[in-house]
Amino acid sequence: MTVYLTPEQVLELHGEAIAAFGGTSGIRDTGALASALAQPAMEAFGVELYPSLTEKAAAYLFFLARNHAFVDGNKRTAYAAAYVFLLLNGAELTGPDDAVFDLVLRTAQGQLPDPRAVADGLGPLVTVQKQGYAESKEASKE
């Protein structure tokens, strides 16, 4: 079963990012934050929009970076949310820091048009440590 981030966890990650690297703390748009946090679990007609862990992490990264829910630290919070989400679900960002940083910047700058494009860039940077939710569903079909 996939473990999703709670709003409290994301607010804590935001606070830690601001404390560590500076900036103004605070939520600019609560609706944008709620929307960003709902995206990884979204379904349409009973089908997950982002079925794999990498796609779900990419949705956190994309929507938190692009929705600008916070006054400051949106990119840092987006990165941290994707990172922690992967850890909670048995995966890890293991790619080079410069590749991850570049992906976050390109996402925030609008160079990647949607979460699937982010997932394409994120995939090679993620190592799954244990069988994840999407992989379990596929294995049970065989």
Mean pLDDT, the chain, rounded, equals 92
Whether residue 133 has pLDDT greater than 70 = no
3-state class of 131 per DSSP? coil
What is the per-residue pLDDT for 129?
A: 85
Task: At 13, list the tokens.
Answer: 């990650």
Three-state DSSP class for residue 93? strand
Tokens 């709620």, residue located:
34
pLDDT at 131: 58
Go through the domains of the chain in sequence order and give each one's CATH number. 7-133 (1.20.120.1870)
pLDDT tens, 9-64?
999 999 999 999 999 999 999 999 999 999 999 999 999 999 999 999 999 999 99
Query: 3 and 57 in contact (C-beta within 8 Å)?
Result: no
